[in-house]
Amino acid sequence: MLEFFKKKQVSPSKTEADKRIKDFQEIYNNYSTKDSIDQASRCSQCGIPFCQIHCPLNNNIPDWLKYIAEDRLEEAYEISSSTNAFPEVCGRVCPQDRLCEGNCVVEKAGFGSITIGSLEKYITETAWDNGWINPIKSEKKQNQKVAIIGSGPAGLAAATYLLEYGYEVEVFEKSDRIGGLLIYGIPNFKLDKSLVIRRTDWLKESGVKFNVNCEIGKDITFKKLENTFDAILIATGVYKARSLDVVTENIHNSIPALDYLIESNKLGLGDRASENKYLNAKDKRVIVIGGGDTAMDCVRTAVRQQASEVICLYRRNKENMPGSAREVANAEQEGVNFKWLSVPSKIIQEKNIATGLTYKVAKLGEVDDSGRRSPVDTGIEKSLKSNLIIEALGFQPENINEKFKTHLDLTGWDTIKVDFNRFQTSNPKVFAAGDIVRGASLVVWAIHDGREAAKKIKNFLSSNNIKKAS
């Protein structure tokens, strides 16, 4: 260990931009055994591991790095998977620069962080290849059943732990595929869909019962779940798209980001193209509005669909973008044209079809509630031509009480109010986890919440005064 003095930080190789924009394959390759040992041995094994403190799952990173450095990968996997239900997913999609790696002491000392995410991916892929990941064996059968609404990372992580504790677990998913935003939001070039399917197949084999095309509040009432299950976890995510200040209603070629990404992911999974021709960017001049990870996924998808031009319009500057710096750099390499400090002011349209938009040039003002400097109008207005506008401005929750005909306490943002120590809602039998509790967040936080909610459900169900469901 402590090799960071001698060995440079080396990330796994990445497919060159001109090659990778020709398909939707993942762009990062895996480490070789030698590279993984070299990179793990750079860890300084510090007494207070800031990487671990800043990992939402509190992963025991220094220990598994030491095992990799000693080529003891099965033990490394044991430790890494003891806190993380889906380490192969986090290794790929966590914004490590803001979490574990950004707080690595070796990084702070100016030597370049330990490449924690790529090593986590390496351990887990090795575990799959070597057959170390077997179906879950329950501690002991509990004879109680839990319903999980939503099959995103929060729901799937909770299912994993509840099954381990011995509960019967049934997942209800309104979409036709399992995985939530892992399958239909995040593009294949960041997270190959075969990995999501591999995990969900593993959960099926372990005994989780999945009901797809089954929307709670429509196909089955929430009341029915309450009467049939001993506990319920709501993990429905947030899907109501935030709208632009300028009017885009009835403009056919101004579309929400998620509609666009879902269509692209469905095509990649072999489904037929939808009849809406505006859900594909081929040969179009595309403007994506927004500066978060969803906007980066849209611009990079549009490049791969052979758009004639892809522009990203963002109201602050690069340093104040909410998205991961790594993804912005990838987008720039792939030819996306960024227009910073640009605030859309009007859609130019003919017969409900946008032909472009005007935008106001901004400058940076004071720091706002988000902790970033806010844009201030300079009075200069410009215009751009476009025949496809993608709105990527973030997501809000639907009002769950209207949907489920319940009376759960909500926050002022319409997220479900829970006691964060218990993930329990104002109805003691009902728990909630993931984006529906936090607002739009990260996969790793959804996995954390699913893990913690499962523990609290176990505590709840094992207390003596619980009446068994019929």
Site for ligand SF4, rule CB under 6 A? 55, 57, 59, 61, 84, 90-91, 94, 96, 99-100, 116-117, 120, 444
Are 324 and 443 in contact by the 8 Å Cβ rule? The answer is no
Choosing from 63, 170, 215, 259, the residue that interacts with ligand FAD (CB under 6 A) is: 215
Choosing from 442, 454, 457, 461, the residue that interacts with ligand FAD (CB under 6 A) is: 442
Asked whether the CA dihedral 81, 86, 89, 95 is positive or negative, the reply is negative
Q: Which among 169, 150, 99 has a CA at the least distance from the CA of 449?
A: 150
Question: What residues contact residue 466 under an 8 Å CB cut-off, 6+ apart?
Answer: 230, 460
β-sheet with 285-289: strand ranges across: 254-256, 388-391, 285-289, 309-313, 337-339
343-402 residues near ligand FAD, rule: CB under 6 A: none
If the CB atoms of residues 105 and 116 are measured against ligand FAD, the closer one turns out to be 116
Region for 439 from its dihedrals, namely left if φ exceeds 0, alpha if ψ lies in -120 to 50, beta otherwise: left
Least distance (Å) between residue 330 CB and ligand SF4: 17
CA 209 to chain centre: 23
Are 233 and 433 in contact by the 8 Å Cβ rule? The answer is yes
* φ, ψ at 416 (rounded to 5°): -80, 135
Least distance (Å) between residue 266 CB and ligand FAD: 13
294 binds, among ligand SF4, ligand FAD, none (CB under 5 to 8 A by kind): ligand FAD
Interface segment toward ligand FAD; rule CB under 6 A; list 36-44, 283-291, 410-418, 443-451: 443-451
Distance CA(92)–CA(404), nearest Å, equals: 34
Size of the chain, expressed as the number of residues it contains: 470
If the CB atoms of residues 87 and 152 are measured against ligand FAD, the closer one turns out to be 152
CA 416 to chain centre: 19
If the CB atoms of residues 49 and 323 are measured against ligand FAD, the closer one turns out to be 323
User: Where are any strands of DSSP class E within 342-413?
Assistant: 342-350, 353-367, 373-385, 388-391, 395-396
241 binds, among ligand FAD, ligand SF4, none (CB under 5 to 8 A by kind): none
Least distance (Å) between residue 413 CB and ligand FAD: 15
Token reading at 458: 């176990």
Site string for ligand FAD, 30-69 (x = CB under 6 A): ----------------------------------------
Determine, following the binding rule CB under 6 A, whether residue 291 of this chain makes contact with ligand FAD.
no
* φ, ψ at 19 (rounded to 5°): -85, -45
291 binds, among ligand SF4, ligand FAD, none (CB under 5 to 8 A by kind): none
Which one-letter amino acid corresponds to residue 10?
V
61 binds, among ligand FAD, ligand SF4, none (CB under 5 to 8 A by kind): ligand SF4
57 binds, among ligand FAD, ligand SF4, none (CB under 5 to 8 A by kind): ligand SF4
Distance CA(368)–CA(281), nearest Å, equals: 34
Determine, following the binding rule CB under 6 A, whether residue 444 of this chain makes contact with ligand FAD.
yes
Residue 287 DSSP label: E
168-207 residues near ligand FAD, rule: CB under 6 A: 172-175, 180-181, 185-186, 190
Residue 265 three-state SS:
helix
* φ, ψ at 211 (rounded to 5°): -120, 105
237 binds, among ligand FAD, ligand SF4, none (CB under 5 to 8 A by kind): ligand FAD
Determine, following the binding rule CB under 6 A, whether residue 155 of this chain makes contact with ligand FAD.
yes
Choosing from 246, 261, 262, 328, the residue that interacts with ligand FAD (CB under 6 A) is: 261
Q: Which residues sit at the interface with ligand FAD, rule CB under 6 A?
A: 93-94, 149-155, 172-175, 180-181, 185-186, 190, 215-217, 235-237, 258, 261, 293-294, 297, 434-435, 441-444, 446
